[in-house]
Amino acid sequence: MIQAYAEGQDTPGMARSSTACGLAEHGRDGHWGIAREMVSARGGAVWAAWTEDEVPCCFAKEACPKTGLTPQGACDLFSEHPGVCSFALDATLAEDPWRAGRIDAALKVLSACDLHDQQTVHAAAHDATLLTWDELRAGIWTFLPDSDQAAVYRLISRTNSVRTMKPHAVVGHARDITEVTRLWSSSSPCRLAHGELAESHTAILEALPSEWQVKVLGGQRLPDGAAPRTPLGEALREASRQAGTGQAPPSAGRNWEVDWDRQRDRETGARVLDRLSHLPDGWRVDAMRRITAGTNALSAVSDAFTAINIICAYDVRLAWNARNRPRRVPA
């Protein structure tokens, strides 16, 4: 985990949070995104700066003093930033009283997708997902945890594939979007359910010796279509207990079926651990949240990489702060 961030004006440091570029449309070089807000009388934030071929570096920057037509239309960028101010970026991000109703109408189509033709369902998925993203960016997007932003990006990446989904998968997509829409409720904690649990599970996993991480993650596959043999939380607690006493993971038994099954666990666990370590922090936690909910571990991390590839093709510029950034994102 990247540990530090800049404390002084224009003093370089390293990024500790996932972020996406907040500047107006520009070339491949010189991306900037907020890594952490600062509490100071002058406002401002720690901004991550990166290029397509470099890891992010951070700089503390004062807030841009410019405002739009109203006092509420303050610029969200830093002082003397390149390009136009944030309030001039995209008019669709302004508060829109009709947007919530359009989202609800689109979700109703998705929830009854078997009653509509394919084109209607695809258009509804497009509206529900992207309008939800607009609503978030018009309000609480910058306050969301990195893992929740990753979850939203993952939903966006699935929008075009809705046309090939089975009805139950389309309904599941609608259910996931509905969960996101609850974030702007007045009673919402402004984070998705089970996010704190996923963060806790991630911390426990990363504190384990690598052989125990492989053991735990290998057990989170779906053998023969069944549920995982041991829920993630229980597996982590047991691994922590045994690792704390210096024990190594149990070796394979003499029964060839047990031996073969455990070997598959080890191979799968090693693949999951390698891919998980290459994900940015927020994406790692989002993957752990899905694994905690019962998703096959290998599917959870593979879905994350697929989503990153897709949203980068949509020109969303992510600051990559994983421990081991791959030169090419694996499929």
Q: Kindly write down the DSSP assignment for every residue of 50-118, as one continuous string.
A: E-TTS--EEEEEPBP--B-SSTT-B--SBTT-SSS-GGGT-GGGS--TTHHHHHHHHHHHHHTGGGS-H
In sequence order, the 6+-apart residues with CB closer than 8 A to the CB of 37 are: 45, 46, 142
Distance CA 193, CA 280 (A): 20
Could you tell me how many residues make up the chain? 331
Number of Cβ within 10 Å of residue 71's Cβ equals 7
Query: Burial, 74: exposed, middle or buried (Cβ in 10 Å; 0-12, 13-18, 19+)?
Result: middle
- Domain coordinates in residue numbering, the chain: 1-89, 99-184, 195-319
Instruction: Write out the chain's pLDDT in tens, 331 residues.
Output: 233 333 344 444 434 445 777 777 666 667 888 777 776 656 678 888 887 767 778 888 888 888 766 555 678 888 888 887 877 765 556 667 888 899 999 999 999 999 999 889 999 999 999 889 888 887 888 788 889 999 999 999 998 888 889 999 999 999 999 999 999 888 888 899 999 999 999 999 999 999 999 999 998 877 655 556 789 999 999 999 999 999 988 775 555 455 556 778 888 899 999 999 889 889 999 999 999 998 999 999 999 999 998 887 776 767 655 554 444 444 4
Q: How far is CA 198 from CA 163, 289, 303, in A?
A: 31, 5, 17
